[in-house]
Amino acid sequence: MDRQPYSLLKTIAGPEDLKAIPPERLPEVAAEIRAAIIDQVSKTGGHLAPNLGVVELTLAMHYVFDFGRDRLLFDVGHQCYPHKLLTGRLEQLSKLRTREGMAGFPEPRESSYDLFSVGHAGTGISTAVGMARGDQLNREHFDPKNNPDGRRVVTLIGDASIVNGVAMEGLNNAGTLKRQFLVVLNDNGMSISKPQGAVSQYFDRVRLSHTYGGFKKTAKKLLSHMPGGEALTESYHRMGEAAKAMLAEDSWFEKFGLVTVGPIDGHDIPALIEFLAEAREFDRPMVLHVKTVKGKGLNAAENDATSFHSPPSFNLTGDMEDEGCRIEVKSAGRSFTGAFGEAMLDLLQRDDRVVACTAAMPDGTGLTRPMQAFPDRVWDTGICESHALDMMAGLAKTGWKPFFAVYSTFMQRAFDQAFQEVALQGLPVRLCLDRAGLVGGDGAVHHGFCDISLLRTLPGACIMAAIDEPSLVAALEFMREHDTGLSAVRYPRDDVDPRMGGRCPAFEIGKARCLTPELWSGDDTPDVAVLAFGTPAMAALDARERLEGKLRVAVWDARFAKPVDRGLLRSLIEKSTPIVTVEDHSVVGGFGSAVLEAAQEMGLDTSKITRIGLPDRWIYQDSRKNQLAEAGIDADGIERAVLAAAGRRANPSPTPGRGSPAGR
């Protein structure tokens, strides 16, 4: 689609400019925001459907509240694009999800309007409670009598996120606040995929049963039976008539002590402004239940919000709101996620004891087809990683072979369960860690940078990495038969490299695979050995090709970070071969650290071991290619590390084909 002029949007350098626009023109602003987001995401990819669904809601919140002083906290944050465009960041949109442009999640480094870097579900209510208490202690909070200009607190959370355990804990505590506190529940019936569980079914009933004028008669009676009933009954008289009319009878949230209003239409700007204006003056914790349509304004996204949650770049033809609108997603290569999905389907077909689950990511982890083919053996638990892993532990205890497909960054949320209910019990639960390492445009909130360091602390754990599709298939087959404890395989958000072909030797626990066997036979010794854990092995092969004629560089697919190949390590060190370890993981506590520790435990010299991996600092949004280069774990970085390691050799051998000292 052609770039729009955005005549109104360009005049908005901040929320004060928005407030100067007459209310009747706000739908024009909404249309320009949608057009700008669709235009940019079609070029670069990004979170599309979540942002299209909250345009009017975000406009209304900024129109009513003063978030230069009031607090706005996002849950997850992938619906923040409209917020960013209303807070002066239109110019950054053209470089969305790159270092020079706008991050795809709230980012305090960009703007004071973003309070937390946030990309995990369930956290918004708890951080908002903390800020509400902090403002109260600082005597800066809104109080209708004593401080009418004080800070208000608003948190925006989705109906799928609110079932997360952290969100439940936050709600439980929010109900004890004795001040203004607004939870805006964005209810679109979706997370990335369809929400799961009893709470989502409750919301389905609410959407069908609640109507705009049906509660005024029972509202006062209802309040008298709620926690803090007398105070809330008094509060009833301070609520506006619109809010009273929409007071939800027998609301789920009332059990937590939060007055609940709604559901209301999240795309009706005048109604949103009316309700938010009343909520702004209410001095008790409240939930405003807002019904929205994920993907609103783009027909294809409305009809398939899962596929257009975070699509790659695409071509759009036709009117975006018309049934004839067509979207052609630009073709991409074969992904590790796609390879995993096919391999998992094969395991389920071959072994009727295999089961699998994911936490709200069936499409993102490749489990959509396996779920369709085996609905009784593959489950989506919703955004509940801790529950999912404990459920897998229970399945393992009853004799099944459970596989948990989860993004590496979200596996962190279930580490306690990996420790207590899996590893401590010696149960064979299998972790399939998608998005391991650097993730590109999603940036620091989603990097899978610490799964090795966390999991290798667990006694009996077996930790692997895949370098391509055949090695991923082989790792999964190894895990299927591994029944002595927790096992994990990690793989990146990337396309598979086909160069090794379709054959791969079976995994043997604690054994690496030499990718350059011609340099590791008999008494032949390489100048430098690269032990690569995961896909950096492919970059190491590229670096080795560049150095051909200068150095003899042998490359290993390490395969295991726990246990490491001690036999190989001893052999290399005893031959005084410099070793470079490389991994798409933090250099702190990762595979390289495991190699150092193993050498030290065997009493071997560690002075010729060089570790490269993700540095001990944050790497922000950009292309994955640029991030790998920044970390020095691309071919260039590995080449530099190999040359430096070779330069430390005391007596290099200038034999034919091995280069000369000057060349190092």
Same domain, 652 and 586: yes
Residue written as tokens 């001690």?
A: 566
Task: Specify the pLDDT at position 310.
Answer: 82
Same domain, 156 and 236: yes
Same domain, 204 and 90: yes
Name residue 402's beta-bridge partners: 355
Same domain, 481 and 522: no
* Residue 287 identity: V
Same domain, 283 and 360: no
Closest CA to 43 of 87, 85, 88, 97: 97
Is residue 317 in a domain? no
Q: Which two tokens stand for residue 662?
A: 């000057």
Is residue 582 in a domain? yes
Is residue 281 in a domain? yes
Same domain, 90 and 236: yes
Same domain, 468 and 528: no
Q: Which two tokens stand for residue 80?
A: 């923040």
Range of the domain at 555: 514-663
Coil, strand or helix at 537: helix
Is residue 3 in a domain? no
Is residue 245 in a domain? yes
Would residue 178 show up in a list of annotated catalytic residues for this protein?
no
Name residue 488's beta-bridge partners: 431, 463
Is residue 506 in a domain? no
CATH number for the domain harbouring residue 195: 3.40.50.970
Query: Are the C-beta atoms of residues 657 and 547 closer than 8 Å to each other?
Result: no
Domain count, the chain: 3
Task: Specify the pLDDT at position 244.
Answer: 57
Average pLDDT score over the chain: 88
Same domain, 638 and 548: yes
- Mark residue 615 as left, alpha or beta (left: phi above 0; alpha: psi -120 to 50; beta: remaining): beta
d(CA 240, CA 275): 8
CATH number for the domain harbouring residue 551: 3.40.50.920
d(CA 104, CA 106): 7
Q: Which two tokens stand for residue 558?
A: 């390490």
Same domain, 75 and 185: yes
Residue written as tokens 């009031």?
A: 70
d(CA 400, CA 391): 11
* Residue 338 identity: G
Cβ partners under 8 Å of residue 264, min gap 6: 212, 246, 271, 272, 275, 288, 289, 290, 291
Q: Which two tokens stand for residue 499?
A: 């160069």
Task: Specify the pLDDT at position 590.
Answer: 98
Q: Exactly one of 284, 413, 430, 513 is catalytic; which is it?
A: 413
C-alpha dihedral sign at 471, 477, 481, 485: positive
CB-neighbour burial class of residue 644 (10 A; exposed 0-12, middle 13-18, buried 19+): middle
Widest Cα–Cα separation across the chain:
94
Residues of the chain with pLDDT below 50 are 1-3, 191-193, 198, 200, 202-233, 236, 648-664
d(CA 529, CA 578): 6
Is residue 611 in a domain? yes
Would residue 353 show up in a list of annotated catalytic residues for this protein?
no
d(CA 337, CA 432): 10
d(CA 16, CA 559): 56
Same domain, 368 and 279: no
As a 3-state breakdown, the chain gives helix, strand, coil percent values, each rounded to 5, of: 40, 15, 45
Is residue 497 in a domain? no
Q: Exactly one of 294, 513, 552, 611 is catalytic; which is it?
A: 294
The domain boundary residue, chosen from 428, 458, 490: 490
Same domain, 535 and 466: no
The domain boundary residue, chosen from 456, 490, 524: 490
Same domain, 253 and 380: no
pLDDT in tens, 546-588: 999 999 999 999 999 999 999 999 999 999 999 999 999 999 9
Closest CA to 140 of 156, 128, 125, 152: 152
Would residue 385 show up in a list of annotated catalytic residues for this protein?
yes
Q: Exactly one of 32, 254, 385, 477 is catalytic; which is it?
A: 385
Name residue 290's beta-bridge partners: 186, 264
- DSSP β-ladder status, 487-490 and 285-291: unpaired
Query: Are the C-beta atoms of residues 180 and 152 closer than 8 Å to each other?
Result: yes
* Residue 90 identity: L
